[in-house]
Structure 1
Amino acid sequence: MCAFKMYVVVLLFLFATLSTVDSVEKWSLNYIYTALSKPVELPGIHEFTAMGLMNDKQIDYYDSVSKKKIPKQDWMREKLPADYWDKGTQSRKSKEQWFKVNINILMDRMRHNNTDVHILQWKHGCEIDRQSDGTFKFIKGTDQYSYDGDDFLAFDDANMQWVAPVVQAQPTKRKWDGVQILNQYTKGYLEKECVDWLSKFMAYGGKEVSRASPPRVYAFAKKAKTAGHVRLTCMATGFYPKYVIMQMKKNGVPLTKRDGVQSTGVLPNDDDTYQIRMSVQIPEADKETYECSVNHVALKEPVVVKWDGKCCDCTQVTGVIIGAVVVLVLLLTAVSSMLVLWKKGKIFAGKKGDLPATGIQAPLNGNGNGTAVLNMPGQGSNKSLEREAMLANGGTKDGASSTDSGNVIQKYCQLFYCIFLNADVSSAVPGQGSNERLEREAMLANGVIKDGASSTDSGQGSNASLEERQC
């Protein structure tokens, strides 16, 4: 499992780059395939998953359990016939088998065994710009592979050849470049076929996909690890599309990385919207004016939220200390009083100076109705004992393998896209999850309770050409 840790740093960074608010007339269609070297015991995480994304919004889905390509948008279900989905299902079953063969080839080449989980991903698609006269301008095409979160192979559309960033990918590059007809097909797919499918989908459901959702913005602070400091956080969530501009400002002046500003980048929520957080560490006693400024295509003007100067958990330690002192004083008072009464013979039966029955002595006293009571020190119910044992081992009954699970999930999110759309595992990846949980966290922090032939598989590329691509 140690190998898992090697990949954490690469998680989600493809989607972690901030962009300016882009034109809503830019459109994209991408298909993403993810294959694991072996199954994992995690809900919603499958050995093979495939999905289609239009403007980063999921439009279809397939996995190795259901083995059926299904629509994820109402307009896809309404506009496309049953024959489309049947052929698409067969196409993805074929791709699933291709991935099983090739992930094993790559594992052998990388000298990896099956002890650890390894991941092979493929992403391909196109991006266009719709002109004012209604025509489409091709911007770029994407066809790339990754292995265990690292770039493995990518198609250079301009020069019509494959690029191998790692030595282990060189044999594959030489083999694929040796069949120029396949490279010609790949270029044609990216620049023509993919664009045709995208334009068709735009006509079917463009209005729904392009509907923008504005961000909800929050500013809150929590105690930092450094004594005497707090970490001020700006959070925007629930926005679509993903292009957004966020700034943290001090007295109206934007803060930068030089000031210690950290960003999660733009991450997907589980409802086709996005989120982003920025944070900076500041002195707890800082009385300057801090604010969060967020701009998005769905906003008429930037949203500005000022920090109220409060830290939601800074007083917790102080409160615990005060409470402990109060309890200690009351306990000492009670013990002193009992000691006095005991010395006067007013409490506890038996000779003066005898201690009350405890532990093994307790059964000798009974419970007043003829039944002996065993009060063995440290003994309790099975549930409490199990809980105590699991806590002592640093785990919980339902999450005994939470560390390994979290690492597998994080590896699953490498390079292209976070496959959480059918998985309730949001809590395993830091900073990712549902809008409701994010907003609840922010509100509590502020003290408020409140994806045969090309026509067979909707622009994903023919199975014949894929089968020729043996690694």
Structure 2
Amino acid sequence: MKTLVFVSLVGLFLHDTTAEMHSLRYFFTASSEVPNFPEFVAVGMVDDIQGGYYDSNTKRAEPKQDWMNRVTEDKADYWEWETERAVYYQQLFKVRLDTFKRRFNQTGGVHIVQWMYDCEWDDETGDVNGHEQYGYDGEDFLALDMKTWTWVAAQQQAVAIKQKWDNNKADLEYLKNYLTEECVDWLKKYVDYGRSSLMRTDLPTVSLLQKTPSSRVTCHATGFYPNRAMMFWRKDGEELHEDVDKGEILPNHDGSFQISADLQLPSDDWGKYDCVFQLSGVKEDIVTKLDKREIKTNYVNPMNPVIPIIAIIAIIAALVLLGLAVIGYKKYRGRKSTCETSSENSSELAEKLNPEPT
């Protein structure tokens, strides 16, 4: 079964905003015969933070951030309205999924249609931008060119659909108005509602890690917020692209994020290398020099079985104390048994000397 991931072009739009750029993105996924997964899911993201959610099981749009409840200040029935829209898209995507399957001469089996649209707004320059695109079974399918306002087919099976949608001028005009105006208006409201959260910045703890002396050096940053961040290695001030493996931004249990980047061990002067962490909204980078003395590891050389003397003393002391405790306990039990026996014998003697009257 194909993994439920957004198509490759969608990934290009995540984590690329600056401190001044804001985005409102919607992701829709319709699927067939996927076990333990709703047939339709809709997710709304404000500055890459999930703001709302709907699926075909719950049949209800709901906020995912406390500040999204403020939207009812401007539109009291907002969540009912969002639910109605989601139900409409659910029905629409059921039809489009069947249409795409016919284009590929498919019937049953696991199939997935994904749709993403967004608008972006620079709160300093006022510039706006937008995107809209479709994916099918994990591959790019159709994308809207906002310069020519025509659809671009990524696969041969999408050509007929492209031609049909290009001829629908009314729909294209609606998309133009929505992506450049209506969507931006909503984005500005959401940013205002969640400003304290969306503009929050927490700096990370950055560490250099290494499993063994011959393995790659990992630069690891954790505890930062928001998730719009970058990490890379430099040599002599120039970003390295070879011998570097960049990891994805991952969530922590407390709502913060972490990221790492691995560097192949350099053969030349280590002092030429440093790790750079950049966080959206923070002007200064966090730069960590590659220094052997700063690398953390739990590696123990198998050829050097020497254990720190303190550890040896602690282990021996613990064993001695345990032995003494066992010996003491045995002596105590022995004395107790002797006392109990003596007590029983004394009782028997007393009964013989002072028999009860019959």
In structure 2, the partner of 1:74 is 66
In structure 1, the partner of 2:90 is 96
Match of 1:137, SS?
coil
After superposition, residues 268-279 of structure 1 pair within 5 angstroms as: 273-279=256-262
User: Could you give the per-residue CA deviations for residues 69-123 of structure 1, whole angstroms, max 9, x where no partner exists?
Assistant: 00112222134155211121122112112222222321232234533x3221111
In structure 2, the partner of 1:184 is 173
After superposition, residues 204-353 of structure 1 pair within 5 angstroms as: 204-223=193-212, 229-249=214-234, 254=238, 256-258=240-242, 260-266=243-249, 273-282=256-265, 288-289=270-271, 291-299=274-282, 301-306=284-289, 309=292, 312=297, 314-315=299-300
> In structure 2, which of residues 11, 15, 26 is the aligned counterpart of residue 14 of structure 1?
11
In structure 2, the partner of 1:62 is 54
Q: Aligned partner of 1:72: which letter?
A: K
Change (3 A) 1:26 1:11: closer
Gaps of 5+ in 2: 306-358
In structure 1, the partner of 2:155 is 166
Q: Is the 8 A contact 1:244 1:294 kept in 2?
A: yes
Q: Is the 8 A contact 1:155 1:162 kept in 2?
A: yes
Q: Aligned partner of 1:56: which letter?
A: D
Displacement of 1:137 after TM fit? 2.2
Q: Is the 8 A contact 1:249 1:255 kept in 2?
A: yes
Match of 1:40, SS?
coil
Change (3 A) 1:271 1:13: farther
Q: Aligned partner of 1:145: which letter?
A: Y
After superposition, residues 85-164 of structure 1 pair within 5 angstroms as: 85-115=79-109, 117-131=110-124, 137-164=126-153
Q: Cα RMSD over matched residues?
A: 3.5
Give the TM-score normalised by the residue count of structure 1: 0.56
Aligned mates of 1:74, 1:264 — CA distance in 2: 30
Q: Is the 8 A contact 1:16 1:267 kept in 2?
A: no
Change (3 A) 1:279 1:166: same
Q: Is the 8 A contact 2:205 2:222 kept in 1?
A: yes
Q: Is the 8 A contact 2:5 2:138 kept in 1?
A: no
Displacement of 1:8 after TM fit? 8.9
Q: Aligned partner of 1:38: which letter?
A: E
In structure 2, the partner of 1:25 is 20
Q: Is the 8 A contact 1:16 1:266 kept in 2?
A: no
Give the TM-score normalised by the residue count of structure 2: 0.71
Aligned mates of 2:63, 2:47 — CA distance in 1: 16
Query: Relative contact order (C-alpha < 8 Å, sep 6+): which is higher?
Result: 1
Displacement of 1:181 after TM fit? 0.7
**Number of residues of Structure 1 aligned to a counterpart in Structure 2:** 301
Q: Which has the higher strand share?
A: 2
> In structure 2, which of residues 170, 179, 192 is the aligned counterpart of residue 203 of structure 1?
192
Change (3 A) 1:90 1:300: closer
User: Could you give the per-residue CA deviations for residues 265-313 of structure 1, whole angstroms, max 9, x where no partner exists?
Assistant: 5556677654432112227x98834542223245463323355635736
Aligned mates of 1:168, 1:91 — CA distance in 2: 28
Q: Aligned partner of 1:276: which letter?
A: I
Q: Is the 8 A contact 2:32 2:39 kept in 1?
A: yes
Q: Is the 8 A contact 2:8 2:139 kept in 1?
A: no
Aligned mates of 2:118, 2:26 — CA distance in 1: 6
Change (3 A) 1:254 1:299: same
Say which one has the larger Rg. 2
Aligned mates of 1:270, 1:30 — CA distance in 2: 24
Q: Is the 8 A contact 1:214 1:298 kept in 2?
A: no
Match of 2:170, SS?
helix
> In structure 1, which of residues 44, 47, 51 is the aligned counterpart of residue 39 of structure 2?
47
Q: Is the 8 A contact 2:223 2:256 kept in 1?
A: yes
Q: Is the 8 A contact 2:206 2:219 kept in 1?
A: yes
In structure 1, the partner of 2:318 is none
Displacement of 1:200 after TM fit? 2.2
